[in-house]
Chain A
């Protein structure tokens, strides 16, 4: 697979390490009343869809940036690649 890195252009997916569902960006609030239940959900439960999947890839063999890749798990086709930083900010994280 080729991942079209927003800063570096097309790169071989073998340069990356895969982390899983991009919902991992949303780490639960450890002070919430039901923090334990939220962390079990966050740590272990996955949607694991057949079809479009937003997922985290780490450019370990490159510029070490984290990306959010939107990829179809049935065809492996990649339709969008964003910097995880931009996604996280847009979704209200790490202001």
Chain B
């Protein structure tokens, strides 16, 4: 069923009896060509592009809970392509371009809102670094705009530009950045994949792999054995847990990241703002809540809830630039499990086991990557070669010294 204004009016006049479910809740079949493990944004996007672009395959997405219950439904919804390094920026810019056409492509309202993102500058050294990053972005076809303090004051009069410790000395803006309704991304891709014949199988946990003589031939699940020619892991924070069942150790630690939403307020924040002297970022949802977050808690965790020291740290960061935040009441807070990699960048690659593929290591920035991650993973699965924007996301980059370390932090996952 295509969604359109005409359809909305027709349904309004006929008692809304013609809306069917957006996708089928499929039961597992004994065999598929490709199985994608994980019904998050990346898994569903992979299935969608694989079915749509490469076609002719029997594809299933296997999800242990319900689709969208993982990080895709827990993140703070920011999209941007403001990276510095060659291994990253073309990929993230490709993703932002896919976001720009996503709703037409999917015929689904994902509320893609290019309201802009502003990274604040507090020191001269930081300005130099941001100018360099802005130039790298422009060289890769992205947009970047260096703003003065006066320009920032005009657009965001409520910011505390004269904080004694962290004065605002300017900012790097990407006007094409913004936010997207995160659940709608999962639902939109699920609907699109379903329309191309993909089976979306919920409440089905992968508990093991069928590996014979170094070849992966399917998966064991809580709903029985399912055979497949290709098996694609795409489980974000659960990556180490899952790949352990294939006997693999990963360059990943799982960490908890918290997010916060205030009570609904009238429109006051016209874009996304990030603090440059600590960990704090904020946007306002269409419902009016201020959506904000900061740093990961910093220790291995699978708990999907964090602790109070980070809550304090995030709120202090917020108060430093954004004093009016102190008057808003916190409505909700939660946590999600991040697959923090050793260099802060993802891995999209074959494994040493034939027929078994891996996508993970997204850290706290995988939401913006969702369309491109799905697209390039589908490309890898269909052609066995990496997509041209994802050639650097290899497993062997750590052994070869080809790390993609945006912040230059080294192999300490909690610092990325």
Contact = CB atoms under 8 A, between A and B. Distances in A.
B398 A48 contact: no
Given A1-B307, A75-B303, A46 B241 contact: no
A6 interface: no
A19 B298 CA distance: 9
B303 A74 contact: yes
B13 interface: no
Contacts of B254: 48, 50, 73
A45 interface: yes
Contact of B241 (A13, A50, A76): A50
A90 interface: no
Contacts of A49: 240-241, 244
B15 interface: no
A46 B302 contact: no
Interface stretch (B82-90, B210-218, B406-414): B406-414
A47 B240 contact: yes
Interface in A36-84: 36-37, 40-41, 43-50, 53, 55, 71, 73-76
B299 A55 contact: yes
B301 interface: yes
Interface in B298-317: 298-303, 307, 309
Interface string A1-18: 100000000001110001
A43 B303 contact: no
A19 B307 CA distance: 18
B53 to A, nearest CB: 33
Contact of A44 (B251, B302, B309, B414): B251
Residue with the greatest number of chain B CB neighbours at <10 A, chosen from A53, A71, A76? A76
B307 A13 contact: yes
Interface string B229-265: 0000000000011001000011111100000000000
A22 B398 CA distance: 21
Contact of A20 (B249, B300, B309): B300
B399 interface: yes
B172 interface: no
Nearest to A46: B253
B298 A18 contact: yes
B245 to A, nearest CB: 12
Contacts of B300: 20-21, 48, 53, 55, 73
A36 B398 CA distance: 12
A44 B301 contact: no
A44 B240 contact: no
Interface string B374-416: 0000000000000000000000001100000000000111100
Nearest to B313: A14
Contacts of B250: 45-46, 48
A79 B251 CA distance: 26
A13 B301 CA distance: 14
Contacts of A53: 300
A73 B241 CA distance: 12
Interface string B269-293: 0000000000000000000000000
A43 B253 CA distance: 12
Contacts of A45: 249-251
**6 A-B pairs closest in CB distance:** A48-B240, A14-B309, A44-B251, A44-B398, A50-B302, A45-B249
18 contacts: A13-B307, A18-B298, A18-B299, A18-B414, A20-B413, A21-B300, A41-B249, A43-B398, A44-B398, A45-B249, A46-B253, A47-B240, A48-B252, A48-B254, A49-B241, A49-B244, A73-B303, A76-B301
Interface of B: 240-241, 244, 249-254, 298-303, 307, 309, 342, 398-399, 411-414
Given A1-B307, A73-B300, A76-B301, 19 more contacts: A13-B299, A14-B309, A18-B298, A19-B412, A40-B398, A40-B399, A41-B249, A43-B342, A43-B398, A45-B251, A46-B251, A48-B249, A48-B250, A48-B252, A48-B300, A55-B300, A73-B254, A76-B303, A76-B307
